[in-house]
């Protein structure tokens, strides 16, 4: 199988057996062993019985630690472990997660993120109350490398329920992190897995699901997405190539939208990510003083969108570089 699938990979159907657990918590990992114990403990602490919840770590041939030993130590037999024979990349690892999932609801929880107590209870209630919902997600918070809270994602609505006009809202920009969302396995079976890009592939998936199914939501903060300050210096950010991925995702999203909304939402997306790119450029300067990286960000940004506020922000960044200030 190609490392970055060019079309949605097939998810094998399981049928309607009554013996299946309600939940499958599938934990993809690759060289994040320092955080994995926290991830596992956050799931295990919720005390859901094995017959109701499958928990499995899917290791993409990590080289930083003995991941299996960590799973055995923390999971004590409760958590299963699967290791890829070789590194297959994030997208194929996600497909493996879904195909190995036996539950009716699949939660892909990355090995450096966490869930808060009550996540599975609340989302389980949403899925049961709204059987038409293809997916459900909670409000979430951002944490740092030490697990300290940085800030909460703003709520989509004030009360639990099915989100209105969600296709149009999620098509404008990414509003969900993996840790916060769970999906009916039958939805993945119908629509296929992640594909196309390695940055923004989740955004495309959440839009694809919203195109075909209602989405349930709770404003309770029940998931924690970990931000790595070092990741901002990753190669895709330094050279601005993540914006190329986002542009591809925007093109994919166009196919899911009503004709009369396509141009308007594309312009909004480009404007949003142009300003986002300058935040990346600013952080890149703060963390590494990478002048060429900042210049590349600015070049890619102006190819997306331009307005007076954007030029003002660019001017501020260049003034910092000129004065060699953080």
Output the pLDDT for position 325.
64
Output the pLDDT for position 128.
98
How far apart CA 15 and CA 276 sit, in angstroms, is 42
Q: For residue 24, with 0-12 CB atoms within 10 Å meaning exposed, 13-18 middle and 19 or more buried, which class applies?
A: buried
CA-to-CA dists, residue 325 to 48, 288, 291, angstroms: 51, 11, 12
Residue 306, pLDDT above cutoff 60: yes
Helix (H) or strand (E) holding 155: none
Residue 150, pLDDT above cutoff 70: yes
Taking residues 84-92, report their average pLDDT. 97
How far apart CA 109 and CA 86 sit, in angstroms, is 21
Cβ pair 104, 47 in contact under 8 A? no
How far apart CA 219 and CA 226 sit, in angstroms, is 19
Cβ pair 195, 201 in contact under 8 A? yes
Out of 66-80, 224-238, 240-254, which region has the weakest mean confidence (pLDDT)? 224-238
**Together in a domain, 221 and 264:** no
Per-residue pLDDT band for 230 (boundaries 50, 70, 90) equals low
**Is 280 contained in some domain?**
yes
Apex CA 39: angle with CA 29 and CA 103, to 5°? 75
**Together in a domain, 271 and 160:** no
Query: Each residue of 264-275: pLDDT tens digit?
Result: 999 999 999 999
Structural domain span for residue 150:
23-227
How far apart CA 39 and CA 103 sit, in angstroms, is 19
Residue 231, pLDDT above cutoff 80: no
Proportion of the chain above pLDDT 70, given as a percent: 97
Last residue of a domain, one of 175, 197, 227: 227
The residue to which tokens 């995702």 are assigned: 249
pTM for the full predicted model: 0.95
**Together in a domain, 92 and 159:** yes
**Residue ranges in 55-200 assigned as alpha helix (H):** 67-75, 90-100, 119-129, 166-172, 185-191
Output the pLDDT for position 211.
98
Query: Each residue of 211-224: pLDDT tens digit?
Result: 999 999 999 999 99
**Is 71 contained in some domain?**
yes
**Together in a domain, 98 and 201:** yes
Per-residue pLDDT band for 109 (boundaries 50, 70, 90) equals very high
Number of domains within the chain = 2
How far apart CA 75 and CA 239 sit, in angstroms, is 40
Last residue of a domain, one of 209, 227, 245: 227
Instruction: Give percent helix, percent strand, percent coil of the chain, each to the nearest 5.
Output: 45, 15, 35
Taking residues 45-68, report their average pLDDT. 97
The residue to which tokens 């969108």 are assigned: 305
The per-residue DSSP string of 106-155 comes to EEE--TT-EE-TTHHHHHHHHHHH-TT-SEEEEEEEEE-TTS-EEEEPPP
**Is 7 contained in some domain?**
no
**Together in a domain, 211 and 263:** no
Per-residue pLDDT band for 228 (boundaries 50, 70, 90) equals confident
How far apart CA 20 and CA 22 sit, in angstroms, is 7
**Together in a domain, 285 and 200:** no
Give the N- to C-terminal CA distance of the chain in Å, as an integer: 45
Q: Which two tokens stand for residue 273?
A: 């990510």
Residue 232, pLDDT above cutoff 90: no
How far apart CA 311 and CA 307 sit, in angstroms, is 6
Q: For residue 130, with 0-12 CB atoms within 10 Å meaning exposed, 13-18 middle and 19 or more buried, which class applies?
A: middle
How far apart CA 160 and CA 158 sit, in angstroms, is 7
Output the pLDDT for position 240.
78
SS3 104: coil
Output the pLDDT for position 1.
66
Q: CATH number of the domain at 207, please.
A: 3.90.550.10
Length of the chain, please?
Answer: 326
**Together in a domain, 65 and 190:** yes
The whole-chain average pLDDT of the chain stands at 94
Other residues' Cβ atoms within 10 Å of the Cβ of residue 9: 20
Residue 183's beta-bridge partner residues?
Answer: 106, 135
Q: Supply the DSSP symbol for 228.
A: P
Query: Each residue of 151-199: pLDDT tens digit?
Result: 999 999 999 999 999 999 999 999 999 999 999 999 999 999 999 999 9
Residue 286, pLDDT above cutoff 70: yes
């Amino acid at each position: 199988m190609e490392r970055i699938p060019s079309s949605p990979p097939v998810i094998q159907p399981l049928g309607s057996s009554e013996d299946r657990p309600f939940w499958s918590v599938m934990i993809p990992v690759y060289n994040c062993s320092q955080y994995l114990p926290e991830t596992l403990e956050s799931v295990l602490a919720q005390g859901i019985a094995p017959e109701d919840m499958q928990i499995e770590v899917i290791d993409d041939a990590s080289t930083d630690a003995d991941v299996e030993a960590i799973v055995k130590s923390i999971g004590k037999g409760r958590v299963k472990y699967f290791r890829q024979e070789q590194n297959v990349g994030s997208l194929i690892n996600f497909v493996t997660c879904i195909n190995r999932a036996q539950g009716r609801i699949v939660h892909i929880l990355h090995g450096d993120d966490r869930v808060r107590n009550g996540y599975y209870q609340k989302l389980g209630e949403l899925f049961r109350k709204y059987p038409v919902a293809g997916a459900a997600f909670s409000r979430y918070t951002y944490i740092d490398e030490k697990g300290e809270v940085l800030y909460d994602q703003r709520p989509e609505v004030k009360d639990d329920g099915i989100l209105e006009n969600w296709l149009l809202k999620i098509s404008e920009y990414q509003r969900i992190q993996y840790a916060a969302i769970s999906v009916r396995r039958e939805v993945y079976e119908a629509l296929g897995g992640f594909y196309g890009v390695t940055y923004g592939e989740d955004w495309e998936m959440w839009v694809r699901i919203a195109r075909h199914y209602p989405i349930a939501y709770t404003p309770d903060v029940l998931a924690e997405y970990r931000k790595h300050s070092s990741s901002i210096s990753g190669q895709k950010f330094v050279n601005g190539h993540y914006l190329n991925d986002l542009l591809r995702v925007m093109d994919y999203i166009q196919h899911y939208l009503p004709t009369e909304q396509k141009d308007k939402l594309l312009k909004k997306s480009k404007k949003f990510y142009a300003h986002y790119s300058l935040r990346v450029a600013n952080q890149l300067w703060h963390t590494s003083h990478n002048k060429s990286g900042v210049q590349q960000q600015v070049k890619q940004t102006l190819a997306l969108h331009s307005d007076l506020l954007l030029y003002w922000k660019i001017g501020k960044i260049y003034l910092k570089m000129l004065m060699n200030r953080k």
